[in-house]
Each structure stands twice: as structure tokens, then as C-alpha cells.
């Protein structure tokens, strides 16, 4: 039986514009790529840049976003909506030294505030934006070498390296958008072989071929100063040439203009050799209303132990889709589709 959902449209001042009703709208959300989702409504007034607020008729939020495009069709109106988080999918400017001085949650909080709350360009600031940093993870290091970078690449690195997740909630009645920054510790257990799991797909990788040795040479004094770091089987990164990972996959690079060559090399080694977590693409599908698993309340960022064929896969939920009453939960930080791969690669280069 089709379920009814409501979409409400608000402008950037949180003023109510219009409302429409839909049956089982197809929703997709990918935290890594932030691609748009497209829905159809019989009749509605909406413009590019407006906020979209989709709920069921009990008031539970299903999806929130920013309208990217509006099309008139023979059957009504088609609306293309970017996730609300796409507000952070921008190029940002900062002083890169903050990545060495502060926990990563603090850095993300500072960049958001400087970009959208205290920016000298008042028109760029977002009315009602609130940032809440809920955790502070120590010893976080990102090898950021430029004062300009793709912000969402920084945010996804925070997830893949340290499990730090960003959530954004539109509160139209309060005229607010609330951003939460936190390292989540909550974990669930999923049995992928049970009959209620009607779709399953597992693609995993191992660490073969990943960098485990890197040598840095001081370009200001290349004949005299160099240092090599190693990744060890227990995940430790140091200069000790013992208990090595084999076969060796290595790299070398110059460091120039550093105030402290050894400190710069150590920071770069941590960034380059620290193994990224959750190198899988795992999809599990459940019927809407499944009594064995409350898929509607499994949120992006939650940790999961997934049991399948006598193995336990430790992963993190990074996306979902909901179509025709089937909810697909997506775990891991690998994407298989070419368009998604291109999005991820493009961000790394800017």
C-alpha cells in the first residue's frame, strides 16, 4: 500500500512557500558524493535555491535539501534536490596551520563559522546557521598543504580516517539550520544472512598495494637531511626499520620551506600512511516497516558489525536509498559507479 509523504518549500529566509503530497518518493543520500535526488509532485510552487522539507504525515523528517532545479512535466512537477549538506561542498580558505594546532572537529567548526556565520561578506552568511561541536578527537592530523581546498574532501577524510561525521538539520519553524560535528561511538549488529535482508552486496578490498614506506628529503638541504617513515602491522607509524610490512610499497617526496623539517615529515607521514578505515562497499536492503530491523532509524555515521558467511565486517553507514518501499543501507567508503568515483577524485585535486 503506498505511503503518503508531504513536501514543504521554504525560501532562504525560512518563509513558507507551498506544499505538495507524494506517494513513496524515491530518496537517495550518499554522504561521500552528495548527489541530488529527484522527486515528482502533482502541483507545487518551488524555485532554485529554496529549501525542501520532506516528512511523512506523522511529521517524521524523511529528507531535507536545497532545490537545484525544477521541471514541468506532463504529470506535474519534477524537483531535483541536493542534500542540505551540499552547503559545505564548496572551496574554502583558511590558514592551514590550524590543522596542526587543533582537533579536527574544532577545525571544521572554525571553517564553517568563518565561511557562513562571521564572513566579512554579509550576503554570504547564512541566516540562522548554528554549529555544534559535540566531540573533540585528539591527535588528528591531515596533510593539508594549501590554504584553499575542497571542504567536503576534508570532511570525508575526517570520516574515513577518524570516524567524525557532520549532520545538518533544517528547522523551519525556528528559522534555523543546525550543524552537528561529532565522532559517533554507537554501534549496531546486522545479520546479513537473515531472510528479512532482501538485498545484499559485498565488495571489499585488502591493504595489498597500499603505501607502507615513505621517504622525505629536505629540498633546502637534499644531501644532508632525509627521513623515512614506516607503517607497521599494528598500525603504528614511526622511523623504526623493524617488524615491517611486506611486500614494500614505497614513495619519496621533497619538503621545501618548512620551518621544522622533522615535524613536517612526521605530519605528512601520518596522513599518507595512516590506513583509511572502512574500505568496503556493502549494501543491505530491507522492506519498509520491517519489524526485525528499524532501518528508518539507522543513521549515516553509525558503526556496524555486519555478520555474513562466518565473517564480521566492521563498517560505517555512509548512504542509503529508499525506493518502492525498499530501504537500501550503504556501508563503507568505496564507490563503484564511475560518476561517483569521478566526483571523489575531482575533490581531491582542488
In this predicted model, what pLDDT tens digit does every residue of 77-106 receive, in sequence order? 999 999 999 999 999 999 988 998 899 999
Rounded Cα distance, 327 and 288, in Å = 6
In this prediction, residue 275 carries a pLDDT of 73
pLDDT higher than threshold 90 for residue 296: no
**Residue whose C-alpha is closest to residue 51's, from 129, 118, 110:** 129
In this prediction, residue 259 carries a pLDDT of 84
In this prediction, residue 277 carries a pLDDT of 78
**Residue whose C-alpha is closest to residue 327's, from 63, 69, 141:** 63
pLDDT higher than threshold 70 for residue 249: yes
Pull the grid cell for residue 335: 564507490
In this prediction, residue 107 carries a pLDDT of 96
What band does 350 get if pLDDT is binned at 50, 70 and 90? low
What band does 150 get if pLDDT is binned at 50, 70 and 90? very high
pLDDT higher than threshold 90 for residue 16: yes
In this prediction, residue 13 carries a pLDDT of 96
Q: What percent of the chain has pLDDT over 90?
A: 67
In this prediction, residue 279 carries a pLDDT of 87
In this prediction, residue 310 carries a pLDDT of 92
Going from the C-alpha of 197 to that of each of 83, 203, 326, the distances in angstroms are 27, 17, 10
pLDDT higher than threshold 70 for residue 2: no
Going from the C-alpha of 188 to that of each of 37, 59, 297, the distances in angstroms are 27, 26, 11
Q: Stretch 52-80: mean pLDDT, rounded?
A: 92
More confident residue, 182 or 139: 182
pLDDT higher than threshold 60 for residue 1: no
What band does 304 get if pLDDT is binned at 50, 70 and 90? very high
In this prediction, residue 336 carries a pLDDT of 87
* Residue 211: exposure state from Cβ atoms within 10 A (0-12, 13-18, ≥19): middle
Question: Per the confidence metrics, is the pTM higher than 0.95?
Answer: no
Q: Find which of 208-212, 237-241, 269-273 is predicted with most confidence, using mean pLDDT.
A: 237-241
In this prediction, residue 202 carries a pLDDT of 95
pLDDT higher than threshold 90 for residue 227: yes
Question: In terms of DSSP bridges, do strands 311-323 and 129-133 run parallel, antiparallel, or are they unpaired?
Answer: unpaired
Q: Which residues contact 157 (CB under 8 A, 6 or more apart)?
A: 142
Each residue's pLDDT tens digit, 45-60: 999 999 999 998 888 8
Amino acid at each position: 500500500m503506498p505511503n503518503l509523504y508531504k513536501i514543504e518549500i521554504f525560501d532562504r529566509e525560512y518563509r513558507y512557500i507551498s506544499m505538495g503530497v507524494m506517494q513513496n518518493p524515491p530518496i537517495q543520500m550518499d554522504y561521500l558524493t552528495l548527489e541530488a535526488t529527484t522527486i515528482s509532485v502533482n502541483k507545487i510552487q518551488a524555485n532554485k535555491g529554496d529549501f525542501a522539507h520532506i516528512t511523512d504525515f506523522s511529521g517524521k523528517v524523511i529528507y531535507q535539501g536545497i532545490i537545484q532545479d525544477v521541471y514541468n512535466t506532463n504529470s506535474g512537477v519534477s524537483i531535483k534536490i541536493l542534500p542540505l549538506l551540499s552547503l559545505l561542498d564548496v572551496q574554502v580558505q583558511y590558514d592551514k596551520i590550524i590543522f596542526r594546532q587543533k582537533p579536527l572537529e574544532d577545525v571544521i567548526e572554525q571553517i564553517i563559522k568563518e565561511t557562513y556565520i562571521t564572513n566579512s561578506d554579509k550576503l554570504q552568511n547564512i541566516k540562522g546557521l548554528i554549529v555544534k561541536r559535540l566531540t573533540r578527537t585528539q591527535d588528528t592530523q591531515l596533510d593539508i598543504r594549501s590554504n584553499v581546498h575542497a571542504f567536503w574532501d576534508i570532511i570525508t577524510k575526517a570520516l574515513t580516517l577518524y570516524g567524525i561525521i557532520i549532520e545538518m538539520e533544517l528547522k523551519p519553524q525556528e528559522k534555523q539550520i543546525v550543524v552537528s560535528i561529532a565522532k559517533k561511538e554507537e554501534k549496531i549488529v546486522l545479520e546479513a544472512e537473515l531472510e528479512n535482508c532482501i538485498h545484499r552486496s559485498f565488495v571489499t578490498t585488502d591493504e595489498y598495494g597500499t603505501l607502507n614506506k615513505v621517504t622525505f628529503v629536505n629540498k633546502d638541504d637534499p644531501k644532508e637531511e632525509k627521513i623515512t617513515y614506516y607503517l607497521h602491522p599494528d598500525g603504528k607509524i614511526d622511523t623504526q626499520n623493524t617488524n615491517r610490512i611486506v611486500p614494500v610499497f614505497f614513495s619519496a617526496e621533497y619538503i621545501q620551506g618548512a620551518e621544522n623539517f622533522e615535524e613536517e615529515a612526521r605530519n605528512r607521514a601520518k596522513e599518507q600512511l595512516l590506513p583509511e578505515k572502512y574500505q568496503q562497499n556493502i549494501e543491505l536492503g530491507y522492506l519498509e516497516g520491517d519489524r526485525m530491523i528499524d532501518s528508518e532509524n539507522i543513521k549515516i555515521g553509525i558503526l556496524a558489525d555486519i555478520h555474513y558467511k562466518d565473517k564480521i565486517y566492521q563498517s560505517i553507514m555512509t548512504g542509503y536509498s529508499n525506493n518502492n518501499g525498499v530501504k537500501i543501507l550503504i556501508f563503507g567508503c568505496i564507490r563503484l559507479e564511475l560518476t561517483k568515483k569521478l566526483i571523489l577524485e575531482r575533490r581531491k585535486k582542488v
